[in-house]
Amino acid sequence: MTTSTNIAFLGLGVMGGPMAAHLARAGHHVFVYNRTTQRAQTWLEERGEERVRCALADTPDRAAEQADVVISCVGNDQDIASVIRGDSGALSAMREGALLIDHTTTSADMARQLGKACAGRGVEFIDAPVSGGQAGAENGQLAIMCGGSAGAMTRAQPIMQPYAKAIVHVGPTGAGQTAKMANQMCIAGVLGGLSEAIRLAQGAGLDLDKTYEAISGGAAQSWQMDNRWATMTQDEFDFGFAIDWMRKDLGYALDEARRLGLSAPITALVDQFYADVQAVGGARSDTSALVTRLPKSNS
């Protein structure tokens, strides 16, 4: 049985909202904060019998002041810096010995900065970006890649378990974010190849369902193929992980590659392809909308 913990959850977007709900259902006391107050109010109204264990806070520090664990899931480096270290930031109210788990996808440098700031206040820190998208968050099936000390991981793992399929301690602070960069680079490359394959099959007049059946059972199989082939062939992109967010993540990956003196030409190319899709109104479309950059055959 899960031991009840006082948890502050900062950020109730398409990922954070379901994750916070899993924590409440697991028996934890959850204090939530969201920059858009109405979203937080709606989240609370949607809770069932676990609502008695939930409360709203109007600032991050108010959410954190009663918490043993603070969990954040916001947008980018600037957002996490604001809710943790800005005016009324959570860190100012966290108790010595508390734990901060950040699920935001940030730069590795931001993770290292947060780690140092936490250490200065006697707070443990784990950078723990996630993969699995909105469906993974809703179904409690996220893959979580973590950076931080072994002791912090021992504490963090059971807290994250209600919404996780896999939790891996990759290395020291920043390693989780770097692993997430590798994750996004892999996704971008796969979607680039998948987009071209779909246009080839369409141009040749192949039965698209049978083509998927033929190739998905072999070495070409991937999560993207299994979950996006049908929607890509039907021009459906109003769901999933937005191109705006993918470009943010790929930007972090390219910056880190440059910092390490490495080349990432495929990632850079796909990033520019995504910029093309953004420019024609696809910024909020799922990342699989990459296929729309490629014209269909006239034959």
CA–CA distance, 247 with 166 (Å, rounded to integer): 25
Torsion of CA 33, 34, 38, 42, to 10 degrees: -70
Instruction: Assign 210 to helix, strand or coil.
Output: helix
**Angle formed at CA 180 by CA 84 and CA 37, multiple of 5 degrees:** 35
| Nearest CA among 67, 135, 131 for reference residue 97 | 67
Tell me the two tokens of residue 67: 């918490």
8, β-bridge pairs: 31, 70
> Which residues are part of the catalytic machinery?
180
Contacts for 129 with CB less than 8 Å, ≥ 6 apart: 103, 104, 105, 106, 144, 145, 176, 177, 179, 180
